[in-house]
Structure 1
Amino acid sequence: MAQDERGVAVVSGASSGFGERIAQLLSRQGYSVVALARRADRLKALAEQDSTGAILPVVADVRDREGLARALDELPPDFRDISVLINNAGLSRGFGPLQSGSPESWREMIDTNISGLLNVSEVLLPRLVSRGSGHVVNIGSIAANYPYMGGNVYAATKAFVHQLSLNMRVDLQGTGVRVSCVAPGMAKTEFAQVRFDGDVERADALYEGIQPLTADDVAEAVAWCVSRPAHVNINMIELMPSDQNFGLGFAGSRTTPADGTDVT
């Protein structure tokens, strides 16, 4: 049975990483959660393991605007009072200089990180505005602000997310809908494995000798944003491991590339 204390939170990219933890935390805090992602098996497990019974798995691809709209239009009545949108779905594909990059990887990042976020926002923002209250949290990355070798197109897509968040805030002024952007640094999730096409050894090497952020760290930052009083808007939160030197590497190392964030 869905909860009704705080309305409904829609979390994109909820099948793993940040999205999974955000969905779990918000459900514990009284939200009914629409967990949106492509992987049906992961979503089913997420819903079954949640003790609140308030997570609804919805299989959809944020890149498919029409399919996404259908899925969100068909939500059960208990999950239609949407008060929070977490735009978390995204990825990084490939790692290296732009001059030797893959156009296919670029397109996948642009379609997911930019077009996907716009698709979800297009469908749901009018509902939040009609409600007269709500909160949008976009998951950005420190890569948007601090360049590092190999970041290029991924970092550019996150710069888009940061700037769009600020403009959404302006566009929604006076509607009762708040907008925040949470920009994590390096976090250990499946993100690096996706970037390196499933090469676990290469992905794990990024974290050697440091203590990265966890998905729980990021979920707690998101939950804090949406828990502020209605008159308070958190524009931006930037967080990173204590060991990380902004986007350029880690303490004591000039060669280890620093990732931006997990938004699986």
Structure 2
Amino acid sequence: MGENTQKIALVTGASSGIGAASARALAADGWKVFVAARRIDRLEKLAEEIGGTAVALDITDQESVDAAAAIVGEIDLLVNNAGGAKGLDSIRNANIDDWKWMYDTNVLGTVRVTRAFMDGLIARDGQVINVSSTAGDTPYVGGAGYNSAKFGVAAFNRVLRLETHNQPLRVTELAPGRVATEEFSLVRFGGDKEKAEAVYENVLNLQAEDIAESVRWIATLPKHMNVDKIRITPRDQV
């Protein structure tokens, strides 16, 4: 991309894992990348590495989203990657605070950020990639809260696609399966490192870079093409 045609991307949840890997992949393809998350110290190191810009962002806080939008301005690509899970409680023992956190982070956070940037994305023939999860279409025991939140992201993606299909905006859901990002499991298990590591033992795992490659590929496609959904898993996950 030339200096006058360089496209601009915003990646949320970019302080680690899939978000950081996606930012690196896009920057390597010539994008100007804004990396956004709450941990600004990590973001600044990543931004320096890839020639991007770090932006403090708490997607659960509307004022933070508005402030970030004012700094970033119009963009060509939004990667809604920020999210997370808490707990593996049964429905009988559901922790309502955990469910609220998961819904606010995964669903409402995606809504807040998308809404803040939608007009600019449409003006620039832009694209939204919503990183969901296989948990958004495959329920599992102990996953009801996270399943519900990611089902919400999947529904959001489909409705956004329906509402904007006749406008210059492409909308994609990217649904990874098991990705060996320890921080995700550390959050889920309240910082219990042993439990977090056990999730990835004796099985095949995707890496954050595998998902980032899908983000990069989607972003390279011609503007007349829309990838509605990609579901990507390790070979042994069904």
Shorter-chain TM-score category? Answer: over 0.9
TM-score by length of 1: 0.86
- Partner residue in 2 for 1:237: 230
Query: What is the letter of the counterpart of residue 27 of structure 1?
Result: A
**What is the CA–CA distance in structure 2 between the aligned matches of 1:134 and 1:113, rounded to whole Å?**
22
Larger RCO, structure (CA 8 Å, separation 6 or more): 1
Runs of 4+ in 1 over 3 A off after TM superposition: 2-6
- Partner residue in 2 for 1:104: 97
Name the one with the larger helix percent: 2
Unaligned runs of 5+ in 1: 247-264
- Partner residue in 2 for 1:134: 126
Cα distance, 1:111–1:153 mapped onto 2, change above 3 Å = same
Query: What is the letter of the counterpart of residue 115 of structure 2?
Result: E
- Partner residue in 2 for 1:26: 26
Residue 159 of structure 1: CA displacement? Answer: 0.8
SS in 2 for 1:98: coil
SS in 1 for 2:44: helix
Instruction: Say how many residue pairs are matched.
Output: 236
**What is the CA–CA distance in structure 2 between the aligned matches of 1:154 and 1:209, rounded to whole Å?**
23
The answer to whether the 8 A contact 1:34-1:58 is kept is yes
Cα distance, 1:108–1:202 mapped onto 2, change above 3 Å = same
**What is the CA–CA distance in structure 2 between the aligned matches of 1:13 and 1:100, rounded to whole Å?**
29
**What is the CA–CA distance in structure 1 between the aligned matches of 2:41 and 2:98, rounded to whole Å?**
25
Residue 3 of structure 1: CA displacement? Answer: 5.8
Residue 19 of structure 1: CA displacement? Answer: 0.4
Q: How does 1:114-193 map to 2 (within 5 A)?
A: 114-131=107-124, 133-189=125-181, 190-193=183-186
Deviation digits for residues 158-180 of structure 1 (CA, Å, limit 9, x no counterpart): 11111111111111122211000
- Partner residue in 2 for 1:71: 68
Residue 21 of structure 1: CA displacement? Answer: 0.5
**What is the CA–CA distance in structure 2 between the aligned matches of 1:69 and 1:10, rounded to whole Å?**
14
The answer to whether the 8 A contact 2:89-2:95 is kept is no
Query: What is the letter of the counterpart of residue 145 of structure 1?
Result: D
Query: What is the letter of the counterpart of residue 214 of structure 1?
Result: Q
- Partner residue in 1 for 2:54: 57
Residue 81 of structure 1: CA displacement? Answer: 4.1
- Partner residue in 2 for 1:215: 208
**What is the CA–CA distance in structure 2 between the aligned matches of 1:110 and 1:171, rounded to whole Å?**
22
Residue 60 of structure 1: CA displacement? Answer: 1.4
Query: What is the letter of the counterpart of residue 42 of structure 1?
Result: R
The answer to whether the 8 A contact 2:74-2:117 is kept is no
CA-based RMSD: 1.4
**What is the CA–CA distance in structure 1 between the aligned matches of 2:107 and 2:33, rounded to whole Å?**
23
**What is the CA–CA distance in structure 1 between the aligned matches of 2:92 and 2:128, rounded to whole Å?**
35
SS in 1 for 2:205: coil
**What is the CA–CA distance in structure 1 between the aligned matches of 2:192 and 2:34, rounded to whole Å?**
31
Unaligned runs of 5+ in 2: none
**What is the CA–CA distance in structure 2 between the aligned matches of 1:138 and 1:175, rounded to whole Å?**
18
Instruction: Give percent identity, aligned residues only.
Output: 37
SS in 2 for 1:193: helix
Identify which range, 178-187 or 80-89, moves more after superposition. 80-89
**What is the CA–CA distance in structure 1 between the aligned matches of 2:3 and 2:209, rounded to whole Å?**
22
Residue 144 of structure 1: CA displacement? Answer: 1.2
Cα distance, 1:3–1:36 mapped onto 2, change above 3 Å = farther
SS in 1 for 2:167: coil
Deviation digits for residues 124-181 of structure 1 (CA, Å, limit 9, x no counterpart): 00111223x0110001111111111111011111111111111111111222110000
Task: Give yes or no for the alignment of 1:37 onto 2:37.
Answer: yes
